[in-house]
Amino acid sequence: MTRRRWIADEVRGHTAALVGEHALHLTRVLRAEVGQEFDIATGDTVRRGKITTISGDRVEFALGAEQVIRPAPHVTLVLAIFKFDRMEWAIEKCTEIGVARIIPVIARRTDTHLASAALKRHERWQRIALQAAEQSRRAAPPEIAAPVKLEDLGSAGVAPAGGPETGAASVCRIVLAESEDDRRLRDALQAHSGEAVLAVGPEGGWTDDELHWFRESGWVASSLGNTILRAETAAIVAAALALDALR
């Protein structure tokens, strides 16, 4: 039977701990007991962990042998903010698929009330990603960046193609558009073997001004075909295709 994996809140030498609600879920919901074993992700490694102490909202583990971790492709998802329940479903599923980073972006077509409330949702999105990462047995959750405006992507570490960041030339930047004239995403990825950054727009897609900004910044416009997908569907499909192409 596959052991459940937990991402440690604290790591010191050969011990690790879950704290707060993280620990309470293990003890109260799953009714874990001293002596049970799980896989514990400790940042750079995943190790076998045996529960040694359960005390209130804290569970401690003795760490044992390291587990083999296969390196995954690095895909960043630039996700325009849209209706929160569907966006959070996309965050959860893209985490399970293996996306390394998600950057929520306030687009022109993002509703005003969603844009103003997005910063307050940041912590919730991080919790969703953590839970999905543990459920899918990832070694670490994706980074969920704080929401930014499109023109401020550089402050989130996504520079224009050929920009100043390390290895910029090896990063493929693709913006999804609903144009039959643009290359299919699979074709755009086939000639690339480095990292990928995918930009997925809100309902209604990116505006013409935004697409012009992407192209002027060196991004490649690509499509997922002739059908129009919901934003959350497009994000999941694009992430899955990119991760498969880069493996």
Q: SS3 for 39-58, per residue? A: EEECCCCEEEEEEEEEECCE
The reported pLDDT for the residue numbered 193 is: 65
> What integer is the mean pLDDT of 145-172?
72
Q: Check pLDDT > 80 for residue 180.
A: no
Query: For the chain, what is the mean pLDDT?
Result: 89
**For residues 40 and 54, what is the distance between their CA atoms, to the nearest angstrom?**
16
Nearest to 132 by CA among 95, 173, 89, 104: 95
Helix (H) / strand (E) element for 184: namely: strand 183-184
Of 3.30.70.260, 3.20.20.70, 3.40.1280.10, 3.30.428.10, which CATH number belongs to 75-246?
3.40.1280.10
The reported pLDDT for the residue numbered 239 is: 96
Domain definitions of the chain by residue range: 5-67, 75-246
What would the two tokens of residue 162 be?
């050929």
Q: Check pLDDT > 70 for residue 181.
A: no
pLDDT tens across 183-204, in order? 788 888 876 667 899 999 999 9
Q: Check pLDDT > 90 for residue 240.
A: yes
Note the CATH number of domain 5-67.
2.40.240.20
pTM given for the model? 0.85
- Pick the residue with more confidence: 197 or 43? 197
Radius of gyration of the chain (CA): 20
Q: Check pLDDT > 50 for residue 164.
A: no
Q: Could you check whether 5-67 and 75-246 share the same CATH topology? A: no
The reported pLDDT for the residue numbered 101 is: 96
Q: Check pLDDT > 80 for residue 61.
A: yes
The reported pLDDT for the residue numbered 167 is: 46
> What integer is the mean pLDDT of 56-78?
90
